[in-house]
Amino acid sequence: MCEANAYLLKGGKEELVLESVDRIVPQEDGLLLEDIFGKKKILRARIKEMALVDHKILLEEIK
Amino acid sequence: MCEANAYLLKGGKEELVLESVDRIVPQEDGLLLEDIFGKKKILRARIKEMALVDHKILLEEIK
């Protein structure tokens, strides 16, 4: 499976916010993340960088 | 491998812009895409939706 883990950059540290992310849908002022089980999470964040081969999504907060 | 294909939504149609995308890095006014071979492409676009399990990145142009 090709899902990825989403980390939020907070004070220089990467905090795991959702594992096994399948869908990412940018919203008006944030991101909708959905994992492979259908669990959804909305965050006030933007994508900083994604590395799909490493299964990694790095997010940063929107201030 | 868990790369994805990037499509740009243009006039209601999805146009393949880069295959086997590994890295996606949002820029000031667009996106940097890099495929698994290191080929880079900068587009004036934003992410509309990503579906990792389907290996699909859908982009839309920034007007």
Question: Residue A47's closest chain B neighbor by CA?
Answer: B26
- Judge whether A18 and A35 are in contact, CB under 8 Å: yes
pLDDT tens, residue order, chain B (63 aa): 789 999 999 999 999 999 999 999 999 999 999 999 999 999 999 999 999 999 999 999 998
Q: Residues A1-32: pLDDT tens digits? A: 789 999 999 999 999 999 999 999 999 999 99
Say yes or no: A48 contacts chain B, CB-CB below 8 A. Answer: yes
- Beta-bridged to residue B15, according to DSSP, are B8
Beta strands in B1-63 (DSSP E): 4-10, 13-27, 30-35, 40-43, 45-51, 56-61
Question: Residue A31's closest chain B neighbor by CA?
Answer: B49
Say yes or no: A55 contacts chain B, CB-CB below 8 A. Answer: yes
Domain boundaries, given as residue ranges, for chain B: 4-61
| Phi, psi dihedrals of residue A62, rounded to the nearest 5° | -95, 130
Instruction: Classify strands B4-10 and B45-51 as parallel, antiparallel or unpaired.
Output: unpaired
pLDDT computed for residue B57 by the predictor:
97
Residues in chain A within 8 Å Cβ distance of B31: none
The letter for the amino acid at B52 is L
User: How many other CB atoms sit within 10 Å of the CB of residue A15?
Assistant: 11
ipTM of the complex: 0.90
> Are B53 and A24 within 8 A, CB to CB?
no
